[in-house]
């Protein structure tokens, strides 16, 4: 210790200062530690859940979704001929036109997209509302008419099954795969026969061949897979009728560009997965902002703690500062003493905070919690991205340096004569 | 050997706040190398102000002060700090030892700023200075464990650490009893006679003043 300090009297003075104010130093360190812990924990928790959601979303929604955007609110034909700039035109009770949701030439488009080397898989989709009936219980939900083999290349249907086998859809013409929440509400399990009724009034007898659980609560509670043919029958449509085309890309980051390309190429609305989940990403942004504010305010408070202790030390150690200056120590030496002190508090508190943040995250990640929210998870998913640890530590150092800067500058500007003469 | 270590010419210092007041009024003095000079005068006479100006701590005045032929005000703030570090030692009424530091560490502080010597050399020199002041046996004690007289002697050892050209003092015996005052005065005289140390001290103690080579008396900012 002695040899470490002998060439560095400033370091030694700083050390002695902090040591003479043990309690306050520890409190200031705890402040930084707490800030960093919250940073690590909150950021890990938040981005862990968000990443989990994004991963689930990427696996359960199409990277590019092509569909026929039906505009129900349309301008009345009268407005085409009458100038509405200086008069009112009121047309009451205009009904939506019976527009086809159909994607025309859907199979040809699928054939073309399939040849695109950037595409991993394409699947047709026919979505409709329906009512599920099992004995006396009845549930409304959505039906996804799919080509199950193609659907599986896109959305890992088989992986998400908790009971039954997807491939029975191929051999059993009236097979249905229920979402786990939907199956629970109906009280149905694999092997049961249920009745599905469409809005066109068509009822089909179907046999539950599998139960699926994706982890995305909304889907699990309402959705069922049936074959494309059965969906067309429920809507009384021919074999070429599909409403959507889902595309899975090799590189998910190209989704936006490819969606734009397909939209202009095929003349149907093509939406990438981020746009489709824009509301969720909006919520993420607000979450991130909130947490950022919490973290910043904690670090600001801990910064004030450091500022406070340094000011106390400076006023108490004025005679030391005066004599150091008289014996030839420069202003920069003096301010360095106090910057060293704030950095010592910041880095020690920061390191402890990293450790505590890591431990807290590990412990919380082990506690079983069955959460049914956006997504259903058994454990909190925590992101241990080392970048957070780096950022938290850097943030701690920066905030403590800022907090230490003003006291340090003040100390450097003390006039030794004034201090000595006032004694 | 007739070399002026300190040479002040027409030094004038005024305060305008709170009232217009001339602390130093056209003061010119020379202190020769190896001379032991004492500044005396009643309180408020400006003797302490003059000492701080002569010792480079205060640079706000009219006129010129040269130390060892260097015009003090031609130096930047940092140069001035280095200048003090090598050229000047201070002893104040209060010892200004850093508490929680050992006696040895306190004495080594000026040398650590200087950075010329190795750890061993610094320690040797510090021990020599402490021996000279008769407090070598206290070297490993914390400075706040010492008696007042011992502390002041350690402070003098610290002032001498870098072998300064001039030793400045502001009432260095002001806090000491008669016996310790005698000890300190003996030491100062020994420094002057054996090491040709230039010394300039402020005091109002006549016993102290009588030990000096020359007494400069100041009244109302003027030399009388």
With a cut of 60, say whether residue A4 has pLDDT above it.
no
Task: Choose among A19, A20, A328: nearest Cβ to B110.
Answer: A328
Q: Do B85 and A331 touch (CB under 8 A)?
A: no
A161-164/A203-212 β-pairing: antiparallel
Among A57-61, B38-42, B182-186, whose mean pLDDT is lowest?
Answer: A57-61
Residue A416 contacts B, CB cutoff 8 Å: yes
The predicted pLDDT at position A3 comes to 46
Query: Shortest CA distance to A135 belongs to which of A202, A187, A171, A207?
Result: A187
Chain B residues contacting A via beta carbons under 8 Å: 48, 52, 57-58, 77-78, 81-86, 88-90, 92-94, 96, 98-101, 105, 108-110, 112-115, 119, 122, 158-159, 162, 170
With a cut of 60, say whether residue A174 has pLDDT above it.
yes
B222-223/A119-134 β-pairing: unpaired
Q: Please compute the mean of the pLDDT values over residues B111-135 and round it to a whole number.
A: 91
Q: In whole angstroms, what is the distance from residue A372 CA to residue A215 CA?
A: 9
Q: Do B82 and A328 touch (CB under 8 A)?
A: yes
Whole-model pTM: value is 0.73
Residue A115 contacts B, CB cutoff 8 Å: no
Provide Rg for chain A, Cα atoms.
33
Contacts of B54 in chain A (CB under 8 A): none
Q: Of all residues in chain A, what percent carry a pLDDT higher than 90?
A: 41
Picking from B100, B117, B172 by the largest number of A CB atoms within 10 A of its own CB, the best residue to mutate is B100
| pLDDT bracket for residue A7 (50, 70, 90) | low
Q: Report pLDDT digits (tens) over A253-287.
A: 888 999 999 998 888 889 998 888 888 888 888 98
State the sign of the Cα–Cα–Cα–Cα dihedral A21, A22, A26, A32.
Answer: positive
Q: Is B89 helix (H, G, I), strand (E, B) or coil?
A: strand
Contacts of A412 in chain B (CB under 8 A): none
Q: In whole angstroms, what is the distance from residue A226 CA to residue A140 CA?
A: 15
Shortest CA gap A320–chain B (Å): 6
A219: left (phi over 0), alpha (psi -120 to 50) or beta: alpha
Contacts of B90 in chain A (CB under 8 A): 323, 326-327
B36-40/B198-202 β-pairing: parallel
CB A236 within 8 A of CB A169: no
Q: Please compute the mean of the pLDDT values over residues A154-174 and round it to a whole number.
A: 88
The predicted pLDDT at position A103 comes to 86
B4-15/A376-379 β-pairing: unpaired
Q: In whole angstroms, what is the distance from residue A193 CA to residue A417 CA?
A: 97
Picking from B104, B109, B160 by the largest number of A CB atoms within 10 A of its own CB, the best residue to mutate is B109
Residue scoring higher pLDDT (A338 or A376): A338
Q: Which residue's entry shows tokens 């995305």? A: A216
Contacts of B119 in chain A (CB under 8 A): 3, 6-7
Task: Choose among A3, A12, A330: nearest Cβ to B78.
Answer: A330
CB A284 within 8 A of CB A50: yes
Shortest CA gap A342–chain B (Å): 20
State the sign of the Cα–Cα–Cα–Cα dihedral B164, A326, B94, B105.
Answer: negative
Contacts A–B by Cβ distance under 8 A: 81
Query: Shortest CA distance to A323 belongs to which of B119, B173, B95?
Result: B95
With a cut of 90, say whether residue A395 has pLDDT above it.
no
Joined tokens for residue A379: 């454990």
With a cut of 90, say whether residue A96 has pLDDT above it.
no
Q: Which residues contact A116 (CB under 8 A, 6 or more apart)?
A: none
Q: Do A421 and B48 touch (CB under 8 A)?
A: yes
With a cut of 90, say whether residue B176 has pLDDT above it.
no
Q: Report pLDDT digits (tens) over B14-29.
A: 988 788 888 999 999 9
Picking from A10, A327, A421 by the largest number of B CB atoms within 10 A of its own CB, the best residue to mutate is A327
Contacts of B158 in chain A (CB under 8 A): 327
Strand order across the B88-91 sheet: B88-91, B166-170, B198-202, B36-40, B214-219, B222-223
């Amino acid at each position: 210790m002695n040899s470490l300090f002998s060439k560095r009297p400033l370091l030694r003075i700083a050390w002695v200062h902090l040591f003479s104010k043990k309690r306050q130093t520890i409190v200031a360190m705890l402040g930084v530690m707490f800030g960093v812990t919250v940073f690590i924990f909150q950021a890990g928790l938040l981005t862990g859940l968000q990443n989990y959601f994004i991963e689930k979303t990427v696996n359960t929604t199409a990277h590019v979704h092509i569909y026929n955007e039906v505009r129900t609110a349309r301008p009345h034909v009268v407005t085409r001929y009458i100038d509405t700039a200086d008069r009112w035109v009121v047309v009451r009770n205009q009904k939506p036109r019976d527009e086809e949701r159909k994607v025309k030439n859907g199979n040809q488009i699928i054939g073309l997209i399939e040849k695109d080397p950037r595409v991993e898989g394409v699947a047709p989709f026919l979505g409709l509302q329906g009512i599920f009936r099992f004995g006396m219980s009845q549930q409304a939900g959505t039906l996804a008419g799919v080509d199950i083999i193609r659907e599986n290349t896109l959305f890992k249907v088989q992986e998400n099954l908790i009971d039954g086998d997807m491939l029975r859809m191929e051999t059993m013409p009236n097979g249905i795969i229920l979402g786990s929440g939907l199956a629970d509400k109906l009280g149905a399990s694999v092997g049961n026969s249920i009745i599905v009724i469409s809005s066109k009034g068509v009822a089909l007898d179907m046999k539950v061949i599998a139960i699926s659980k994706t982890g995305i609560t909304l889907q699990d509670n309402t959705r069922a897979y049936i074959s494309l043919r059965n969906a067309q029958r429920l809507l009384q449509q021919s074999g070429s009728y599909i409403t959507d085309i889902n595309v899975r890309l090799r590189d998910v980051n190209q989704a936006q560009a490819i969606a734009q390309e397909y939209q202009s190429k095929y003349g149907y609305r093509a939406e990438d997965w981020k746009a489709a989940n824009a509301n969720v990403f909006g919520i993420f942004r607000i979450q991130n902002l909130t947490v950022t504010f919490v973290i910043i305010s904690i670090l600001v408070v801990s910064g004030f703690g450091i500022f406070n202790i340094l000011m106390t030390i400076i006023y108490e150690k004025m005679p030391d500062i005066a004599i150091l200056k008289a014996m030839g120590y420069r202003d920069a030496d003096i301010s360095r003493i106090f910057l060293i002190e704030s950095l010592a508090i910041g880095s020690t508190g920061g390191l402890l905070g990293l450790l505590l943040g890591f431990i807290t995250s590990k412990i919380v990640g082990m506690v079983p919690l069955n959460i049914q929210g956006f997504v259903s998870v058994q454990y909190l998913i925590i992101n241990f991205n080392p970048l957070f640890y780096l950022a938290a530590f850097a943030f701690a150092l920066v905030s403590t340096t800022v907090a230490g800067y003003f006291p340090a500058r003040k100390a450097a500007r003390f006039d030794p004569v004034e201090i000595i003469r006032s004694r | 050997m007739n070399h002026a270590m300190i040479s002040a010419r027409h030094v004038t210092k005024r305060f305008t706040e709170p009232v217009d007041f001339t602390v130093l009024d056209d003061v010119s003095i020379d202190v020769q190398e190896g001379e032991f000079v004492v500044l005396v005068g009643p309180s408020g006479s400006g003797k302490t102000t003059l000492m701080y100006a002569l010792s480079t701590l205060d640079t706000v005045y009219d006129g010129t002060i040269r130390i060892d032929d260097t015009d003090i005000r031609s130096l930047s703030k940092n140069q001035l700090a280095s200048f003090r570090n090598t050229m000047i030692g201070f002893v104040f009424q209060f010892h200004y030892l850093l508490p929680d530091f050992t006696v040895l560490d306190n004495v080594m502080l000026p040398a650590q700023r200087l950075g010329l010597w190795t750890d061993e050399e610094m320690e040797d020199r510090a021990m020599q200075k402490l021996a000279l002041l008769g407090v070598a046996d206290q070297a490993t004690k914390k400075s706040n464990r010492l008696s007042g007289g011992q502390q002041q002697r350690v402070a003098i050892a610290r002032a001498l650490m870098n072998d300064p050209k001039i030793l400045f003092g502001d009432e260095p015996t002001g806090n000491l009893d008669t016996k310790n005052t005698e000890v300190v005065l003996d030491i100062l005289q020994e420094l002057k006679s054996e090491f040709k140390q230039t010394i300039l001290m402020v005091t109002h103690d006549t016993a102290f003043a009588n030990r000096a080579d020359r007494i400069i008396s100041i009244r109302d900012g003027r030399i009388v």
